[in-house]
Structure 1
């Protein structure tokens, strides 16, 4: 959350420094983390763990746009490919920031993402980001617009998506048991104080099992699912869903979103959630199962020049849940 807070604070400071009146701001920020450890960090004897062929998908983007001349565009990015042979192991990291800045009056539109996939384990597994024994993902995203003077049409958006699947196979004739310990935390905030536009953020993660004969999975909540919601302002809305081994889904999945629809006042919506859990797994001799993992995030803001006849946006539009965890769940839900 530190990087997102720093960027958001920078925008607010810029606006306050150059503005003759209160600046118009729109901020969307997200910070999420999730991790799991299999069998205390050691590959279970007799269990072969392979990354499923062609299961890795990844997409990312950061864009900003201002409908007025005099802005300077900047785009910076950095990608570090993981190396599990280094000591300590090097994580996979990806950052990008795309901005439009008017240094004359402090107007800014910016979008960024910052993702780190960190693993520490046996180098024989392969690249760090492919290691299925220990996986820790930290990610943040921000989209923000600060208008020091009068409203202008400006927008910014960032996104990041990653999926990867693992196949567990019992190569012996005997039943083998092991566990997977996991946790997740999420913080999301959307704020808008302009006459028109929106700020919205959403994110999801999933860890789902595709099972068959000879596979037994039991879910244990280590800590309760805790959630805090702030959607008291008019134009503010929050949505979330969390499933953990509910019969239809073997595994755990979370998606959430916060949205602030502009109405000329300060509108803020926020969501925090966290939990910890354990899956106890037994594979009979020769049995196999698939572990499907995915995470995604979206941040978007828009500031608009007031129109003669404002058209209100539907409250459900900015939540983006259908494009995040909801789609992920449907993509993996078995009949």
Structure 2
């Protein structure tokens, strides 16, 4: 009985692995972005305008896996805290690899985010240490490649950085101040070969909220530019911006790219990018506060995985093996009794 059970398991395992997948197979995705903003032209803020920031919230994760007996794994992260000027930013980076054959096969994921935040140069110090400028930029990639043998392999990278700001008007009269900046991103997703998948996602967002009706005006500083390319018939990309900030509270740019490989279908590719240079004018009533959440998230996926499909009717071979196993089990059970 034990020998038969092992035989059944071995046959079922070989049937599952024997997919006939043609190699080489590759999947790649990547993102790069830039998101800068200057509050009230930077430097000294207007008298009576307070720009206070809350604690940051962030995560930067990578994970790679190769389900091969000789896979070699490596993971590392690095943080450098600086960021008082654009030329000396804080950096947050992570890398994960799971490879074989001297690193030529398997999966790799990485991300790198840099940021800076400048306090106003106060002519008349008021002790508030107001923020006058902030920026984030970075990139993420995920890669999966098989060239000699077929094993499931996957790479993911997930990043989120968020900080909340409170702008308040300490004057006895209404005041208007501006924020200028840029949202910029480029991304791609390429899949080549059966069971390959590549995905990229990013959103750059400034979300405003107030107990009053939002009084915010938006304008493009330069013409909005975007380009999108899809090829192979099994790839897509979407780049969307939200500029109705007075209505939705959001000023944002979001991108999504995906590609799925086909057996013999050639490379499936989606790539593109957008640049939005903007200016907004914010009017605050006397004593009014408005909050702004400055959020950047981006993620990457690259995978080569055999999908387990649901079979409505088991094959005759498996039915025969199952029936044979039950028959021998009953016979052995009767003898033992």
TM bucket (normalised to shorter chain) is 0.7 to 0.9
Conserved? CA contact 2:120–2:131, under 8 Å: no
Q: Normalization by structure 1: what TM-score?
A: 0.77
Give the alignment of 1:1-335 within 5 angstroms.
23-42=24-43, 43-52=45-54, 56-82=56-82, 84=84, 90-104=88-102, 106-122=104-120, 132-213=131-212, 216-245=215-244, 248-264=247-263, 265-305=266-306
Q: Distance in 2 between matches of 1:293 and 1:254?
A: 12
Q: Distance in 1 between matches of 2:174 and 2:276?
A: 30
Match of 1:315 in 2: none
Conserved? CA contact 1:182–1:276, under 8 Å: yes
- Larger deviation: 296-305 or 115-124? 115-124
Q: Distance in 1 between matches of 2:296 and 2:83?
A: 21
Give SS of 2:41's match: helix
Conserved? CA contact 1:214–1:283, under 8 Å: no
- CA deviation string 1:202-227 (max 9, x = no partner): 00011122134486321111123221
User: Number of paired residues?
Assistant: 281
- Residues 215 and 246 (structure 1), Cα distance of their counterparts in 2 relative to 1, 3 Å cut: closer
Match of 1:321 in 2: none
Conserved? CA contact 2:35–2:135, under 8 Å: yes
Give SS of 2:222's match: strand
Conserved? CA contact 2:214–2:246, under 8 Å: no
Give the Å deviation of 1:247: 5.1
Q: Distance in 2 between matches of 1:59 and 1:25?
A: 28
Highest CA radius of gyration, 1 or 2? 2
Conserved? CA contact 1:214–1:284, under 8 Å: no
RMSD after superposition: 2.6
Conserved? CA contact 1:207–1:294, under 8 Å: yes
- CA deviation string 1:6-63 (max 9, x = no partner): xxxxxxxxxxxxxxx97321101100111100111122221111124x6x32122100
Give SS of 2:171's match: coil
Give SS of 1:248's match: helix
Q: Distance in 2 between matches of 1:230 and 1:116?
A: 28
- Residues 138 and 192 (structure 1), Cα distance of their counterparts in 2 relative to 1, 3 Å cut: same
Give SS of 1:41's match: coil
Q: Distance in 1 between matches of 2:31 and 2:225?
A: 17
- Residues 131 and 109 (structure 1), Cα distance of their counterparts in 2 relative to 1, 3 Å cut: farther
Conserved? CA contact 2:176–2:283, under 8 Å: yes
